[in-house]
Amino acid sequence: MKIALLQLNVTVGDLAGNARRIEQAARDSAKAGAQLAVSSELALLGYPPRDLLLDRALLEQAQETTNRLARSLDGVIALLLGTVEPNLADRGRSVRNVVQLLKDGNVRAGTTKVLLPTYDVFDEDRYFEPGAGSSPLQFAGTTLGLTICEDVWNDAQFWPHPRYHLDPVEVLAGQVQTLINLSASPFHRGKQVLRERMLGHTARRHGKPLLYINQVGGNDELIFDGRSCAFDARGQLLGRAQAFREDVLLVELPSEGELVPGRAEPDLAGEEEVWQALVLGTRDYTHKCGFQQGIVALSGGIDSALTAAVVCAALGPANVVGVMMPSPYSSRGSLDDSARLAGNLGIETMKLPIEPAMQAMEQILAPAFAGMQTDVTEENIQARIRGTLVMALSNKFNRLVFITGNKSETAVGYNTLYGCTAGALAVIADLYKGEVYRLAYWLNRNGEVIPEDTLSKPPSAELRPDQRDQDTLPPYDVLDAILYGYIEEGHTSAELIEAGNDPQTVHRVLKLLRQAEFKRRQLPPALKVSARAFGMGWRMPIARR
């Protein structure tokens, strides 16, 4: 029997569009000889649907759409569909996260998700009633064990500290011939290596082939990398779908239950993996929000250069405008670097000097500021003038503005609310400054994209004469090491100091991190590429001691 793993890029809430996508992929799979197609988790609604799950009308439409899809595929192919169904019990949450079998024009029960993740970016316990456990599914002379995403992530022999008390796969494995997991597992750097180790271990431990189907595409700040895969009963990888692209992986399952080696796409790692994720996340956020074109403010610095390169790769050069907004403090080199970058990318540019607006603001505020020294206030006004200009262009030309700040700056508040933070999507806000440089050098591996002068000059906001970032911040390698140790690795300040960091610097950086929480709460969505990103997975109080 051939099984088709449908790795599709679905849009949250687009029931009709998602159903058409699933149906077409299922029909194509049938033509390729598949008897069963399998979607990803919640493929009909798109993941994560969040508070759309509180919309009863939408849930009713989901059931109607599922019924129509079953009738449409009658006589063509059977489909295991990730969707929702109402909880008809007299207690508990009102909806279940389920797999349903669409066969012979009918919708048949499959299984309900047992483990509901409620950590990091997940909030499933807010919405779903958990299942008690999965029952084996008889199909075409074989017995299938169905699980949904988190249900496969709790093997006590793999994880040193399992999160849950129950392992649904362990309960099910002895009763079935093949394990199938429908997932919507968000990307972060290096996660696929961990996934494949875990899935291979699970297949080997239970001595059963395991098929894993993952969603692909960007939905808000989350990026789904696909890379659906298949393992034999010895835990050997026998097939892998493409990364960051729609794909259908055909898996042959002989009657004795062993898998036949299939297509295994080469995997990605390092900077290429992060680049592909950012491009996909930017493209899908733009298009799924109904836009086609973008704006990036070009400062001549590395952050705006890398952001522009990502947006250009995502939307195409013809759909990107780079806006240069020089002040009296902008260097000639920054303007030249911006122009050279635009030429390398092939994008249109626009030059809007801000000195007249600076003079007007100075005149307006002169009575209020009489007798006071110039300070960071005037620097912030420059940034806010620029924010006003790019948002005016966004309104006039129906283009999204992409902000350019990195994770190091976002962490310590080295940005200006309503200025450089004004926009629709933060493209590189989950990359530390050192990672920005590494990705930029990788991008230049076959020739100059980002100008060499941009890479070599000291970072500067250019809001006052001869300004440098390190006038205000520790050196970026020091700053990044402290932030990474605290945010990603969970080290305490004492542990960071024991590791050799200067105590005064550690305390200062962590104080800045706490003080900047109110700024981060007001930022646009930031594409998530790390294990712990600011945004959905970072829920710190603002008012605290």
Do the domains spanning 2-262 and 273-468+515-520 agree at the CATH topology level?
A: no
Average pLDDT over residues 391-412: 97
Instruction: Note whether 108 and 76 are within 8 A (CB).
Output: no
Global pTM?
Answer: 0.95
State pLDDT tens for residues 314-364.
Answer: 999 999 999 999 999 888 888 999 999 999 999 999 999 999 999 999 999
Instruction: Note whether 212 and 176 are within 8 A (CB).
Output: no
Average pLDDT over residues 160-185: 96
CB half-sphere exposure, 118, CA atoms < 13 A: 11
- Would you please indicate which residues are annotated as catalytic (active-site) residues? 41, 113, 149
* Mean pLDDT across the chain: 95
- pLDDT reported for residue 460: 72
Cis bond upstream, residue 541 (ω within 30): no
Would the pLDDT of 386 be above 80? yes
- pLDDT reported for residue 463: 67
The b/e string for 109-129 (b: 16+ C-beta within 10 A; e otherwise) is ebbbbbbbbeebbbbbeebbb
Would the pLDDT of 201 be above 70? yes
Would the pLDDT of 260 be above 80? no
Residues in contact with 21: Cβ distance below 8 Å, sequence separation at least 6, in sequence order: 8, 9, 10
| Domain range annotation of the chain | 2-262, 273-468+515-520
| Residue-by-residue DSSP string for 364-407 | HHTTTTTT----HHHHHHHHHHHHHHHHHHHHHHT-EEEE---H
State pLDDT tens for residues 114-155.
Answer: 999 999 999 999 999 999 888 899 999 899 999 999 999 999
Would the pLDDT of 466 be above 90? no
- pLDDT reported for residue 101: 97
CATH ID of 2-262, from 3.30.1360.120, 3.40.190.10, 3.60.110.10, 3.40.50.300 = 3.60.110.10
- Helices 270-288, 433-443: axis angle to 10 degrees equals 100
- pLDDT reported for residue 314: 98
Would the pLDDT of 174 be above 90? yes
Tokens of 178: 């093949």
Instruction: Note whether 233 and 267 are within 8 A (CB).
Output: no
Would the pLDDT of 462 be above 70? no
Instruction: Note whether 30 and 204 are within 8 A (CB).
Output: no
State pLDDT tens for residues 414-441.
Answer: 999 999 999 999 999 999 999 999 999 9
Tokens of 127: 């919405």
Instruction: Note whether 540 and 517 are within 8 A (CB).
Output: yes
State pLDDT tens for residues 71-118.
Answer: 999 999 999 999 999 998 889 999 999 999 999 999 998 899 999 999
The CATH T-level fold of domain 273-468+515-520 is Rossmann fold (3.40.50)
Give me the percent of the chain exceeding a pLDDT of 70.
Answer: 98
State pLDDT tens for residues 216-243.
Answer: 999 999 999 999 999 999 999 999 999 9
